[in-house]
Each structure stands twice: as structure tokens, then as C-alpha cells.
Amino acid sequence: MNTIFHYDHYWKYDEMKQNLSALQKANSSLCSIETICVTEEGRSVFAVTLTNTKTGSAMNKPALYIDANTHAGEVTGSMAALHAIDYLLANYKSDPAITKLLDTETVYVIPRISPDGAEKYLTSPYMLRSVNRVYNEVKGGMEEKDLDDDGVIRMMRIQTPYGAWKKDGDSLILRSPDDTEGTFFDVFPEGMLTDYDGSENLKQAKPAWGLDFNRNYPFGWFPDSRQPGAGKYPLSNPENKAVVDFVLAHPNIGGVSTNHTSGGVILYPPGTAKASSAPKNDIDTFIAIGNMAKEEMGYEPINIFDSFMDDQVNYDSGAFDDWCYQTQGIPAFTVELWDLANRAGVPIIWNMHSSETPATAIKRFNACMEWVKKNAPQYWMDWQLFNHPQFGEVEIGGFNSKYTMQNPPENFLLQECEKMTNFMIRFAKAMPHLSVDQIIARKESSGVYKITAIVGNLGYLPTNLSDEAVKLKVNHPVMVTLNGAEPISGKKEEYAGDLSGYSRTETGIHYYGNIATPACAPAKKKITWIVKADPGTEITISASQEKSGCDSKTIKID
């Protein structure tokens, strides 16, 4: 897949900014960039608009929305979003499908929601959830620190007769109930005890940078006591507010993909209730679009609540995909890119994940360790003795989980980006598209004509996007406008309601064995007017709806 830039390393902020600016300058009629938020450290959260402005303004076309880096360390998602921008621009004109896409649709991309968090992740040894703003007061315990100064916080094992682990080659296994003889360990991330309360029993300190942007959206929000990192109140983070304001300011958005890393799984709402509680049509749509994602990426589409959530009573929510679907009716997917466990041969079975035994998790860890040693040895370090100022002799070792577990090693990054871009292009094609199919003028009497227009939705998704949107009353009817003559009956502006796309057509195998369409979806609507007009008059019928673009046709009365 041709692109201008190379996707063989993770771009820091300055490189991202420079490359986006270069893409925009070289494609000024296809690409515009705005800053939707300036972060505490002075970085821009960029929103990129891609469409051919010569064929109509961005807002007058159906739109797909992509974002990434809600979580600081999930930089693969960000690189995939940047790849999509680059690929669409680099292949406009040379690829007819991309040309059609940008001529008839808009793609919005917010490639890095948390530029401060991502920068900290890419330039320091630290792991963090969304952003490096102090949120939790650290109240003692083991705080992460790169003790041996190799730029990575690895595992640190401390020998103790109370330990729950014992050595197993390069790895560790759980001590069995009858293990009374031997050498045992506790394992922490490399670190130091600070402000320790003096307890004999060590514990990990709560991370100071615990804010989780994907718990801060205003649907199903719960406070920090239930879901750590939730923030003070919904949209208390300026980055979250900027994202929501952007979506609300672009009512043409008809599909959402929020890129995360990792796990190799495609998540779809609802996330706060069983899939069976949502309208069946919507779940069918999620599965059909999710299956396209699976074809491109090999990752399974699953419902968040039924198959991803470990705790279905005190579940986590306040997530972006749920806000999109459950308040705006927009089909939204969270894509968890990169799946080391699968490559290592011990995949996570998501709908059985919560009942998995510790032994399976350790088996998976070991398989991942072996994969890293073989495929990314630069990110592996054998156990080394280290003289810890507080514990004496300890051992430090293991992999750099940033570019193995959480994100692919650089030479595997391009594959993830390309898979994701291929899915994005297919998802964009599923948007509703209005069409004025036919106009017929029939003479009723001298100077009086009956005008009939057939207006339809040629897309897969309905103009209302989802049945949930109808329940939420956020669906807006298709408006059909007559211009060029005065109506005697009918109004200049008529409403055609919601027009189904072909996703709602009944399909199946007929009772007698043939393929059949028992009933077409209500994708078309006939509108009639009686108008006063003279022969030679030109009459134009236009159809428009915020999610579905616009179209018009003109006839001359004879």
C-alpha cells in the first residue's frame, strides 16, 4: 500500500505535526487540519478533515470518524490513524475507489487525543493510562523507577520465604500449595519504596497518572470509587470535551472507529447492558461491519458487555463508543489492534476470558516471552543481579512490554496500520447515501403539472444510522425540496422520513430452496406535488439529510 511516509517507527509529536502539515500542504483541496484542544503541556490535539472540497463541502457529505490514543501508550492506534490519512491522500486520483471515497464522503481523523500522554510514553520508561497529569495521590508502596537506567521498567524479583512465585527457567511459576522447600520470590515492576507506611507487606503504589479518558465520557459515567481514572465528572478532561464537541459539531458523522491497542479484538456496544437488550437490527449491523473488520484484520468482533467485561455488575463504562451509540445513535467500534498472544500461539478467547485460570495466563506469558526472544530480541533482557538500595540483591529482567505486549515491535507496525486502513475504507463505504432517482412531470391541465420524485438511500446504513437513534429521537428526516415552480399542493419542502439502506432488506433462502428477498427495505420514497408552471420551466428536486449527504436532479417541463 503506497504512502508518503514510513510506518516503521512510532512518531513523536514533532514528527507527527511536521508530517501532517506536509500532507496538508501537498493536498490543500483534500485535507484541512484544525487544533481542537491545546493540552496542559502546550501540544495540539489535531483534527484532520479529508474530502475533495471541489465536489462539495465536508459537512454536506456522509462522514466516517476515526480517532486514536485515548490511552497514552496505545500508539499503534495512532500510527494506524495517521496511516489512513496518508494512504487516502497518496492514492487519491491513482486509485478510483479512493477517489470516489473522497469525492463523495468525508473522513475525520483525530490521530492523537492525548499528545501529552503519548509523548511521555514514547520518551520515558514509564507506562501510563491516558495522560501524565497527577490524579491519584501516591500513598506509599512500590513506585516504578528505571533502576538500572536502561530506559525500560522491567520485572524485579525479590527473594523472600513468603513469596508466591518460584523460578521456572527464564520465567516464573506460581508456588504450589505443597511447596515448602525452595527459593521463593515476590515480583514487582522495577522500583523503589516511597512514603511507605511501614507495613511489613509490600504493595505496588497506585499510579499517580491514573486518569482514564475512556471512563470520562458522559454516558454511563461512574465515579472513581467504582472505575479508577474516571475523572471528577463527565468531560472533566479538556481532551474528552474537545472530542465530544467535535462529534456534535459534525452531525454528518455516521460511523465511528476509535483505535486502541492491544488484544486483537473488535468491540461493539452496548457496553452497559447485554447485546440482546439493544435493537436486533443494530446488533446485526455491528456484526456485519465487524465481520468486515475480521476479514481485514483477523480479529473477532464481540459485544463489550457480553464478552469483554469481566464484571457485569460493577462494569466499567463512560467509554466513547457507548456515548456515540447510546446518545447519538452512531454505530461505533473500539478496535484493539495487535495481538501478541495470538502470534505466540496462546490466543485470548475473549468470551471465556473471565473464567480463565492463572495457569493459562502464565502459559500465555511464557509463550509471549519466547516469541519476543525470537522475534524482537532487542526488547528482551535476561535476568541481571542488581544491588537495590532498599532490598539488597534483587534480579531485574524480562521484556520491554511497550513494544512487545502493548504495541508491536517496529517491524510489525506497518501490517497493523495497513489492516486497519483497509477496514476503514470498507467501513466508510457503508454510510447512507441519498439519491434523487427519478423525476416525472405529468401535465394535469394547461400550466398545471403533477411532479413526482423518487428519493432513495443507496447506502448500507439507514439515514437514521440505527434503531437506537430512533428510540433516542436523534434521527432527522430526509428533506426533499422543490425549486423552479410554485406548488399548488404540497410544500416546497417535504419530509421523506428515515430511508432504510439495504442493511434492512429481508434476505434469506426461500422455502423452496432458492435465494429470496421476502421484502425490500423501505429505502425509497415517492413525493408528489401539483405545481403551476409553463412549458420550458426547469424544476429541480433536491434531497438532503445530515448523515446521508445530498443530491439533486433537474428536469425541463415540455
**Chain mean position to CA 334:** 4
Q: How far is the CB of 284 from Zn ion (least distance, A)?
A: 26
| d(C-alpha 309, C-alpha 453), whole Å | 49
| d(C-alpha 262, C-alpha 332), whole Å | 18
- 77 or 459, CB closer to Zn ion? 77
| d(C-alpha 398, C-alpha 373), whole Å | 10
Q: How far is the CB of 338 from Zn ion (least distance, A)?
A: 11
Site residue total, Zn ion (CB under 5 A)? 3
Q: How far is the CB of 258 from Zn ion (least distance, A)?
A: 8
Candidates 30-38, 54-62, 260-268, 408-416: pick the segment binding Zn ion (CB under 5 A). 260-268
- Give the up-direction half-sphere exposure of residue 143: CA atoms within 13 A in the CB hemisphere: 12
Q: How far is the CB of 302 from Zn ion (least distance, A)?
A: 15
Q: How far is the CB of 274 from Zn ion (least distance, A)?
A: 23
- 144 or 321, CB closer to Zn ion? 321
Q: How far is the CB of 257 from Zn ion (least distance, A)?
A: 13
Closest-by-Cβ residue to Zn ion is: 260
For residue 443, the cross-strand partners are: 449
Binders of Zn ion in range 150-169 (CB under 5 A): none
Q: Does 112 bind Zn ion (CB under 5 A)?
A: no
Burial class (CB in 10 A: 0-12, 13-18, 19+), 263: buried
Residue 14 CB neighbours (<10 A) = 10
- 181 or 311, CB closer to Zn ion? 311
Among 83, 215, 260, 433, binds Zn ion (CB under 5 A): 260
- 111 or 432, CB closer to Zn ion? 111
Q: Which helix (H) or strand (E) holds 285?
A: helix 280-297
- 118 or 543, CB closer to Zn ion? 118
For residue 516, the cross-strand partners are: 508
- 83 or 260, CB closer to Zn ion? 260
Q: How far is the CB of 320 from Zn ion (least distance, A)?
A: 10
Q: How far is the CB of 260 from Zn ion (least distance, A)?
A: 3
Candidates 5-13, 88-96, 119-127, 255-263: pick the segment binding Zn ion (CB under 5 A). 255-263
- 114 or 435, CB closer to Zn ion? 114
Q: How far is the CB of 211 from Zn ion (least distance, A)?
A: 13
Strand order in the sheet with 478-483: 493-497, 478-483, 538-545, 549-556
Burial class (CB in 10 A: 0-12, 13-18, 19+), 389: exposed
- 316 or 418, CB closer to Zn ion? 316
- 240 or 548, CB closer to Zn ion? 240
| d(C-alpha 519, C-alpha 509), whole Å | 13
Q: How far is the CB of 129 from Zn ion (least distance, A)?
A: 9
Give whole-number Cα distances, 520 to 136, 499, 547, in Å: 56, 12, 21
- Residue 252 grid coordinates: 454528518
Q: How far is the CB of 348 from Zn ion (least distance, A)?
A: 15
- 74 or 296, CB closer to Zn ion? 74
- 421 and 87 in contact (C-beta within 8 Å)? yes
Instruction: Give pairs for 147-151: CB < 8 Å, separation 24+.
Output: 147/190, 147/191, 147/192, 147/386, 147/388, 147/396, 148/190, 148/384, 148/386, 148/396, 150/381, 151/125
Binders of Zn ion in range 55-94 (CB under 5 A): 71, 74
Helix (H, G, I), strand (E, B) or coil at 332: strand
| d(C-alpha 71, C-alpha 129), whole Å | 5
- 256 or 369, CB closer to Zn ion? 256
Where does this chain bind Zn ion (CB under 5 A)?
A: 71, 74, 260
